[in-house]
Amino acid sequence: MKTTLAQWRALQAVVDHGGFAQAAAVLNRSQSSVSYAVGRLEESLGVRLLKLSGRRARLTDAGSALLRGARNLLSEARELESLAATLAEGWEAELSLAVDGLCPEPLLSSALEDFASQASATRVEISEEVLSGASEAISEGRVDLALSPEVPGGFLGEPILEVAFLPVAHPDHALNGLNRSLTNDDLRRERQIVIRDSARQGRRDHGWLGAPRRWTVTSLESARRLVTQGLGFAWLPAPVVAADIDSGRLRQLQLQAGGGRRSHLYLVVARPNSLGPAARLLVDCLRTAAADYAAP
């Protein structure tokens, strides 16, 4: 009986992404080749691994037990492949970084500029995420590094920056016209702009979501734009709205209690024991840029 890592990767993709078509898109393979790989795996093992529930492929009990062990095997294989590439080529050809919208743009730009001056041959692929998205990307092994407001289970996160979230609205918004400290009831009567979690699975709600009338957007910049147009209020990171508050385009709402909240931005490394020189350099650049940004 022989199985291959490619077959186990196909099974994992079908389960994680809900079907053969979705797995094929993620793996950049044809749907028939993914189906064939899973079929060969079941034939080699002599057990059914998947069953159809509606349109979604779900694991059998045997499949669940076997895939649990295979995930560890695949993770170790990725680490070995990464380490081999590092040893063979010295500097990594490419790094992937998930960045939450909480990260101030000047911080990221400074870090990347510093990195590029020392590792110009290494490509950096950046995915912009919101809320749980960066945490999910690191836990699923889709990126090498992440700047995330959350640290997934089984990983260590280094807090590199604390960011305040401020309740803001246009100066002419009805909430600012009340000329007093605002209550939850005041907020519930108005439209709230909220940002959707970019995680693919297990999206979660964050922060105050008490307003029945809500508009949901996919980025902090979209939320900022709607709020500056007077279409609602929102809690937004201080670095995102600082210039708007200074110029008078936005005004911070004065609440009776719980007006602001704070979140940490964590630097999370997917495989700290197999970091290549380029990844170590990027980590150092991000740390330095965060320290410089936070310095008074």
What's the CATH number where 80 sits? 1.10.10.10
Tell me: the pLDDT tens digits for 97-113? 999 988 999 999 999 99
Pair 170, 255 in one domain: yes
- Secondary structure (3-state) at 264: strand
The answer on pLDDT for 200 being more than 80 is no
Q: How much is the pLDDT for 231?
A: 94
Query: So what's the pLDDT on residue 258?
Result: 63
What pLDDT does residue 280 have? 93
What share of the chain in percent tops pLDDT 90?
A: 35
- Of 88, 106, 129, the residue that ends a domain is 88
Q: Give the end of a domain, one of 69, 88, 107.
A: 88
CA–CA distance, 281 with 262 (Å, rounded to integer): 29
Is position 132 within any domain?
no
Domain around 11 = 5-88
Q: Which stretch of DSSP H or E encloses residue 62?
A: helix 61-89
> Looking at the predicted structure, is the pLDDT value of residue 87 above 60?
no
Structure tokens at 107: 């911080």
Among residues 124, 154, 137, 141, the alpha carbon closest in space to that of 98 is found at: 137
196 is a domain residue:
yes
| Residue 135, token pair as written in the block | 């945490």
Q: Across-strand partners of 145?
A: 97, 269
Where does a domain end: 34, 67, 88?
Answer: 88
DSSP letter at 145?
E
pLDDT band for position 281 (cuts 50, 70, 90): very high
CA distance 258 to 269: 33
Q: What is the pLDDT of residue 210?
A: 64
> In angstroms, what is the C-alpha Rg of the chain?
23
In a domain, 42, yes or no: yes
Report the pLDDT averaged over residues 115-122: 86
Report whether pLDDT(226) > 90.
Answer: yes
The pLDDT tens digits for 4-38 are 888 888 888 888 888 888 888 888 898 889 888 88
pLDDT grade for 259, boundaries at 50, 70 and 90: low
Weakest-pLDDT range from 55-59, 99-103, 136-140: 55-59
Residue 137 inside a domain? The answer is no
Same domain, residue pair 166 and 258: yes
Q: Say if residue 51's pLDDT is above 90.
A: no
Residues 6+ apart with CB under 8 A from 18: 56, 57
Top-confidence residue, 203 or 130: 130
pLDDT for residue 184: 85
Expressed in angstroms, the distance from the first to the final Cα of the chain is 64
CATH of the domain at 226: 3.40.190.290
CB 195 within 8 A of CB 130: yes
Q: Cα 5 to chain center, whole Å?
A: 26
pTM of the model: 0.65
CA torsion through residues 100, 102, 108, 109, sign:
positive
The rounded distance, in Å, linking the Cα atoms of 130 and 125 is 17
Residue 169 confidence class, pLDDT cut points 50, 70, 90: very high
Which of 56-65, 106-115, 233-242, 287-296 comes out lowest in average pLDDT?
56-65
Is residue 34 within 8 A of residue 25, CB to CB? The reply is no
φ/ψ (deg, to 5) at 57: -85, 125
The average confidence (pLDDT) of the chain is 86
Whether residue 127 lies inside any domain: the answer is no
Q: Is the pLDDT of residue 203 over 60?
A: no
Residue 136 lies in a domain: no
In whole angstroms, give the CA distance from residue 194 to residue 208: 9
Higher pLDDT, 102 or 57: 102
Report yes or no on 129 lying in a domain: no
Phi, psi of 81 (to 5 degrees): -65, -40
Q: Which residues of 138-152 are buried (b: 16+ CB within 10 A; e: fewer)?
A: bbeeebbbbbbbbbb
Q: How many domains does the chain have?
A: 2
Residue 204 resides in a domain:
yes
